[in-house]
Amino acid sequence: MTFYIKPPGGNISLSSLYKDAETRLLFLCQLEQCWGDMEEVQRILSQHPNIAANSDCLIEGSHKDRSSHYVLRLACLGNGQFQSFLMEAESQFFEYRLYLGEKAAVKSTVLILLRHVKYALIHLKLASPYHELLLQIKEASSEVLAADMLDCGKGTVCSHQIKVPWILAENLVKGRHVIVTRGKAEVQCEHLMLLLCSVFRKTLEYGIRQLSESDEEESFFYDPRMVQVKRSLCKLFRMQYRGGGYHISLAHRILRHQEIESQVQYFPLCMQSLHRTLVKNNRLRHHARFRYTLFLKDIGVPWQENVAFWEHYYSKPHSGAAAGCCHTWKGNDGHRYTYGIRHLYGMEGGKKNYTSHSCSALQEMKPQPQEPGGCPFTSQAIEDIIHLTPHLHDIPHIHQAIAKEMRIGRPNYACKMLLGYTKLMYSESGGRHKQEIGTGNCCNGNGGQKKDGNSKSTYISGPANGSKETDKGCSSQDLPTTTLRVITMKSAWESQNLQGGGDDGGGDPPGGNSHSDVPGEDGSHSSSSCCCHGCGTVCKIFLKYTIGRSLQLTFYVLDIATDLGVAYTDYVKGDIIFASITLGLVFAPGLLFALFAFTQVLMSHTGILACIKAPLWLIGFPFLPLWPIFRDLHQIYHGMMALFPANRKYHLDFLNKPSRAYLLKFLEAFVEAAPQILLRLYKITLRKQEMPFSKLGPLEIVQVSFSLVTLANKLISTQQKTITTQQIINGDIDNSERFKLPCLVQLLGFLWWSTFLVARFEVMAVFAGSLKWWIFVVIGVHVVLVFLFQTLGLRKHGLQRIFIYLFSAFVFIFAYIQFNMQARIKVTVWLSYTVYSILVLLENSVMLVVWYFAQEVATANYPEEDQLAFASHRQLLIYIHYGVFSFSMLMMVLTFWCAPNLRQNKVEDDEEEMKAIRVS
């Protein structure tokens, strides 16, 4: 068996590379779900033709096997959950290979391990911890060969034993299978396979750590092709691992606390037991409450509903000592319970997003006095299980089948059968199905199962939200050996929504199909946070892709058109300088984008290809402002076509594709619109410096208004997305408008930013009009301070990263967005905006004071009546500034008050994504 110590080599096409990695990831997800049941593991390929069709990448030791493994290693970097899953699933895959190969596999594994370790120590550049680990493995492998341990039979107890560093036998030490003396674990022949599994896991752990600190990771994240692969694999992992890989249409996207009681009958028996105890005593002990809260979280109960659920029971009187808890919801206990629930949702403390207990973890729990145990099929007698399932009392052969599975030690199969028959009984009202069950006919039923191994607990949906698919042709006698469909509520709550792709952009895999996160043809889901939640699919598509995209296109075109009109007016009036600057700002975003694309082409390609593509970007930059126009027109067309159900999926897949047009629009807002506003207001103040803004032209008002709307709209759009340097660079941000915020909150946010920008630009314009070049000193100091703050503590300062940070520091002159800040500022979201607003207010106040006294000195020689008029006008501008700024702060408070969980659910993923960024 290969330990993947030696990195792969050779050439492979990008589509084949992704396809192999995708197949391997799908296989590992299935393996992890059914681990613990070797019969189920052996049926994975027969049950999943898509995996079997490309199973070459699973052949041990093949080139595809090693390349697909290393691609998954690279893809999991920076994602803690993906990394933990990969280590666990690959270790299980290794153990499964040993299980199939038996004695011959063990012998060849040790020989291959020794050979690859020697190669790595000689030819590879290794970090010190990894080098020391491989030296220990080399010594241990040599001792295994010298001790003739490979000649013993499987599971044989003999006198052969070796002493290895305990870190190589960590699993054996944890399970108390070996004796540890002075840091050395004594391993006998019967534990040789477990030792190899432990060594594999340790080499994988250190190998991932080595990879994260090497240059290969930087080149991986820098190559736009591999970034696409990483993004697609991460999205596939989220869909398969978190959601179980199955998608069903539900009538409701979330589970309210009032609805839990009606759905308890579909819960796994372990959770039913906890619920019955809670209903009986109105209390649960700490660990039981912890398990049940996580289960409710994973089946789609929001944290507010979870709080309401526990408040309902803990506000009632407890039933004495039997309840195990005398606390009530009133007073400080309620705040403590609320904090604990929010902590489990990753909203408090270390922001760790906890998941529910796995079946294997529940099965290992021992029942404690006055506290329910873990899995009833392992902790309770068969007679007790019969009493816990009164709805099956009239079906004795089902109890017999469940009892048989419990006696032979297969609790997972017992749970599968119980959940399957429970689902079948309640799938439709009436007694027809119950009669069919009694006669053993279940051809119309929908089976359900609880995941094996380390998988998450599953939940069978009820009649209100049942799956349309059926398992045909199965009888009660065949059910224990029949594959039952896994239906997880978590998949139902997380999949198929109108909010766009995931954290990684949701792009299409290279050479593969996209996984659309838009409403399906049945229209059974919608954005829960948008005011159009009650609308049908056609209505939502029309509002989002037709109306929304048309408005964006209109504002974008009018913004550029008014800028060109103002530049032409200045040129006609003989103001060549302002006309040139205005016209230059129109093409500045395209020029910056072209320069970036130029460097990307030179770094990603060599030879004649680079010589052809690179100059084309520089030559074509004047036409880049037309790109968003054509893209919006294309999306409007696909949005209109998606209104018809015939080819809806095709058009929705296109609409959700990310595009670098977002980067161009992002640059247009902050490189063109913001400077245009400041430039035009500055020119207006120059007409009469003693009374700024007293003379305004109609075209200038229109130009400033459209630029202001463009900038404020982009701030709100960006605020609803996860913005990091690498996503901006690679165009990984979905260009669609997402209804992540309710429409009312979006309106409040627009008023907040538009008034904030009015106050900010007013102060900067009057200050520049009075003190000329001093405005560049203020801007320079601002940029330097923000730049130093961003780069503080970074180990690597590549040239491209420095330019990105300088640009983001320039953006912060006008507004604050969580751009490169989210992993550095680990505070509540609203606090960072509040601190920024206070600092801007102080900066504005200083500029206003300096401007006021400078103007007072400049107008000292004017007649007294004029001085009074000028002073009155200056005071009016000051009142306007503080009034507008105060209104913007009120809108900010209302925005966060109406959306208290803004981006809260993305904190952990954003931090992991930020850790993964490596830009040379």
Confidence of residue 370 (pLDDT cuts 50, 70, 90): low
DSSP-assigned letter for residue 185: E
Strand ranges of the sheet holding 179-181, from the earlier edge strand across to the other edge: 161-165, 184-188, 179-181
Same-domain pairing of 231 and 271:
no
Q: Is residue 721 part of a domain?
A: no
C-alpha angle with apex 337: 495 to 909, nearest 5 degrees? 35
Q: Put residue 31 in one of left, alpha, beta given phi > 0 → left and psi -120 to 50 → alpha.
A: alpha
Q: What percent of the chain has pLDDT over 70?
A: 71
327 lies in some domain: yes
Q: Which of 68-82, 794-808, 881-895 is modeled with the greatest confidence?
A: 881-895
- Name every residue whose Cβ is closer than 8 Å to that of residue 276 and which is 6 or more positions away in sequence: none
863: pLDDT strictly greater than 90: no
Nearest to 171 by CA among 205, 131, 139, 202: 202
CA distance 117 to 97: 20
- In whole angstroms, how far apart are CA 413 and each of 483, 549, 832? 10, 51, 51
Q: Are strands 184-188 and 161-165 parallel, antiparallel or unpaired?
A: antiparallel
Whether 516 is in a domain gets the answer no
179 DSSP β-pair partners:
186
In a domain, 672, yes or no: no
Q: What is the pLDDT of residue 825?
A: 43
Query: How much is the pLDDT for 323?
Result: 47
Task: Supply φ then ψ for residue 689, to 5 degrees.
Answer: -65, -25
* 155 shares its domain with 273: no
pLDDT at 216: 58
CA-to-CA distance for 490 and 41, rounded, in angstroms?
23
Contact between 270 and 375 (Cβ < 8 Å) = yes
- Band (pLDDT 50/70/90 cuts) for residue 228 is confident
427 pLDDT exceeds 50? Answer: yes
How large is the average pLDDT for residues 116-126?
Answer: 85
Co-location of 95 and 228 in the same domain: yes
Indicate the helix (H) or strand (E) that contains 184. strand 184-188
- Stretch 851-871: mean pLDDT: 86
Q: Residue range 120-128: average pLDDT?
A: 83
pLDDT of the residue at 192 = 83
pLDDT of residue 321: 52
Residue 462 pLDDT exceeds 80: no
Q: Which of 458, 491, 524 is the last residue of a domain?
A: 491
Residue listed under structure tokens 């295994």: 144
Among residues 709, 713, 707, which one has the least CA distance to residue 673?
707
What are the Cα distances from residue 631, in Å, to 228, 518, 658?
Answer: 20, 19, 11
Same domain, 145 and 94: yes
Supply the pLDDT for residue 887: 94
Residue from 115, 189, 184, 118 nearest 147 by CA: 189
Q: For residues 277-286, give the mean pLDDT.
A: 85
Average pLDDT of the residues in 710-724: 66
Q: How far is CA 34 from CA 239, 270, 567, in A?
A: 17, 19, 67
pLDDT at 442: 35
**Does a structural domain hold residue 522?**
no
The amino acid at residue 190 is: E
Q: Which residues make Cβ contacts (< 8 Å) with residue 498, sequence separation at least 6? A: 517, 518, 519, 525, 526, 527, 530, 540, 544, 738, 739
Give the domain CATH number at 191: 1.20.930.80
**280 and 332 belong to one structural domain:** yes
Does 122 have pLDDT greater than 90? no
* Owning domain of residue 322: 257-491
Count of domains observed in the chain: 2
| Of residues 64 and 445, more confidently modeled | 64
pLDDT of 917 > 50? The answer is no
- Is the pTM higher than 0.75? The answer reads no
pLDDT given for residue 738 in this prediction: 42
Pair 266, 210 in one domain:
no
Which residue among 471, 491, 511 closes a domain? 491
In angstroms, the Cα distances linking 408 to 340, 405, 562 are 39, 5, 79
- Residue 504, pLDDT score: 36
Residue 796: closest CA among 130, 162, 217: 217
Predicted local distance difference test score (pLDDT) of residue 691: 81
- Single-letter code of the amino acid located at 873: H
Span 487-504, average pLDDT: 33
**Mean of all residue pLDDT scores within the chain:** 73
Q: Domain check: are 432 and 483 in the same one?
A: yes
Q: Does residue 358 share a domain with residue 218? A: no
d(CA 223, CA 242): 28
- What pLDDT does 251 receive? 34
pLDDT band at 879 (very low <50, low <70, confident <90, very high): very high
**Residue 22 CA from chain centroid, whole number:** 18
Cβ count within 10 A of residue 694: 11
* CA-to-CA separations, 600 to 593, 729, 838, in angstroms, rounded: 10, 10, 39
Q: Which residues of 439-455 are buried (b: 16+ CB within 10 A; e: fewer)?
A: eeebeebbbbbbbbbbb
- Number of Cβ within 10 Å of residue 398's Cβ equals 22
Quote the crossing angle between the two packed helices 548-572 and 627-641, to the nearest 10°. 160
3-state secondary structure of 187: strand
pLDDT for 880 equals 92
Is pLDDT above 90 for 190?
no
DSSP designation for 499: T
Q: 694-704 pLDDT, tens per residue?
A: 777 888 888 88
Asked whether residue 173 is assigned to any structural domain, the reply reads yes
Region 501-526: what's the mean pLDDT? 36
Question: Looking at residues 430-439, what average pLDDT do you find?
Answer: 39
- pLDDT-based confidence at residue 609 (cuts at 50, 70, 90): low
pLDDT: is 783 or 605 the higher one? 783
> What DSSP state is assigned to residue 323?
G
Q: Burial letters for 816-852: b for 16+ Cβ neighbours within 10 Å, e otherwise?
A: bbbbbbbbeeeeebbeebbeebeebbebbeebbeebb
Let me know whether 68 and 21 are in one domain: yes
Most confident of 27-36, 166-175, 743-752, 838-847: 838-847
Examine the domain organization and report whether 172 and 284 are in the same domain. Answer: no
Q: Which is nearest to 1 in space by CA: 119, 120, 116, 94?
A: 94
| Residue 607 binned pLDDT confidence (cut-offs 50, 70, 90) | low
Q: Is 318 in the same domain as 465?
A: yes
Domain assignment present for residue 200? The answer is yes
Query: Which among 184, 210, 242 is the end of a domain?
Result: 242
In a domain, residue 531? The reply is no
Q: Are 579 and 571 in contact (CB under 8 A)?
A: yes
Yes or no: say if 290 and 372 are a contact pair by the CB < 8 Å rule. no
Residue 882 has pLDDT above 90, yes or no: yes
pLDDT bracket for residue 31 (50, 70, 90): confident
Segment 150-169 shows an average pLDDT of 72
pLDDT tens for residues 613-644?
667 777 887 888 888 888 888 888 888 888 88
Rounded average pLDDT over 495-508? 35
d(CA 540, CA 533): 8
pLDDT given for residue 475 in this prediction: 34
Based on the fold, state whether residues 445 and 389 are members of the same structural domain: yes
For residue 165, what is the enclosing H or E element? strand 161-165
Once rounded to an integer, what is the mean pLDDT over residues 328-351? 80
User: Which amino acid, one-letter code, is at 315?
Assistant: S
Question: Confidence class of residue 822 from pLDDT cuts 50, 70 and 90?
Answer: very low
User: CA-CA distance, 92 to 76, in Å (whole number)?
Assistant: 17
